[in-house]
Structure 1
Amino acid sequence: MDITISEMTDNDKDDVLRIYAQGIETNLATLEAQCPTWENWNESHLHTGRIIARMDGIVVGFAALMRESQSDAYKGVVDVSLYVDENKKHMGIGFAMLNKLIEIADNNGFWTLQSVILEENEASIELHEKCGFRKVGYRHMIGKDKFGLWRNTVLMERRSEKIGFEGCDGSCCRIKK
């Protein structure tokens, strides 16, 4: 089956929320206990970098980007949100979407992609490593899950290979234009 990746539209909102709810149910994808409304989800994600994966015309995954910070100093740093339908895992969907997000990020001036992943979500950690992300941090008991249990996360990041440094004088570096 072929995977097609396209830009997310408002028509995809029911599928996005359905797949997000599956992530809540597994207790591996998010610490959220309730699915957000479309309005809340929509407001928290950038309009650039919203994608949908389809197989045979059916939405089987989505990914989106969120600003890491409102500071201009970090305007090129974004958080990755990526979810795959529970019935379509291990079919290359996450890999296709994450590689598309990397391309979108490079084309839109985002120099660092980062993901916060629950430490038990080994498949997601492996996927991110396969796509060039590296582990840069571990957060102990950072939040409680839907059962009230403290959970740990792994922070992973990928620095753009296209948006690089011109040189560094030891105190600061200039970004290539």
Structure 2
Amino acid sequence: MNIRSFRKEDWSQVKDIYEQGIATGQATFETSAPSFEKWESTIASNLCLVAEDEKGIQGWCKISNVSDRCVYSGVGEVSVYVRDESRGKGVGKLLLQAMIKESESKGYWTLSAGVFPENIPSLHLHQSVGLHEVGIRQRIGKLNGVWRDVVLLERRSQNIGID
């Protein structure tokens, strides 16, 4: 599995993987994939990676800024999605491990994630790379008319922002 930076020509496969995640009803509040321009505009510091093998892109991971305030310049929200047939095979973990290194190289000291509590595999994945639960946002939003909770996870770097 090759982990590399996202390129514009990857969008079709990335969008397909995102739509697979949306279809589960357990990955996001989104109900459809955005346009490429809108999706790309949320990528912070060019922090978007894909996992690719001989069959194509099997997953992607990106960082979005949590705020435009300078005090939060090193805090990012991580998103990771894996193709249906590649789930449970370590692709997500490879992506997150690579993203942690890449984000630290760009000065990020904290990564956060929001995961539906019913998405046990995603919770375990995030925890396996050092994100830990910091709380639950109860009934934070509706998905298809149903209020959903979101588990907040966070990872503080041991290398960046430790002064």
TM-score bucket (shorter structure):
over 0.9
Report the Cα distance in structure 1 between the residues aligned to 2:61 and 2:161, rounded to whole angstroms. 25
1:12-161 matched pairs, under 5 angstroms: 12-145=10-143, 147-161=144-158
Offset, 1:35: 1.2
Residue identity opposite 1:65 in structure 2: I
SS class of match (1:60): strand
Report the Cα distance in structure 1 between the residues aligned to 2:43 and 2:162, rounded to whole angstroms. 28
Report the Cα distance in structure 2 between the residues aligned to 1:61 and 1:165, rounded to whole angstroms. 31
Report the Cα distance in structure 2 between the residues aligned to 1:42 and 1:130, rounded to whole angstroms. 27
Report the Cα distance in structure 2 between the residues aligned to 1:151 and 1:46, rounded to whole angstroms. 26
Structure 1 residues not aligned, in runs of 5+: 167-177
Q: Does 1:6 align with 2:11?
A: no
Q: Could you list the runs of 4 or more consecutive aligned residues of structure 1 that deviate by over 4 angstroms after TM superposition?
A: none
Residue identity opposite 1:93 in structure 2: V
SS class of match (1:123): helix
The percent identity for this pair of structures is: 34
Report the Cα distance in structure 2 between the residues aligned to 1:11 and 1:135, rounded to whole angstroms. 35
Counterpart residue number, 1:171: none
The alignment of Structure 1 onto Structure 2 pairs a total of residues equal to 163
Deviation digits for residues 66-115 of structure 1, max 9, x if unmatched?
00100000000000011000111011000000000000111110000000
Residue identity opposite 2:156 in structure 1: R
In terms of Rg, which structure is larger?
1
Report the Cα distance in structure 2 between the residues aligned to 1:119 and 1:73, rounded to whole angstroms. 29
Residue identity opposite 1:117 in structure 2: V
Residue identity opposite 1:155 in structure 2: L
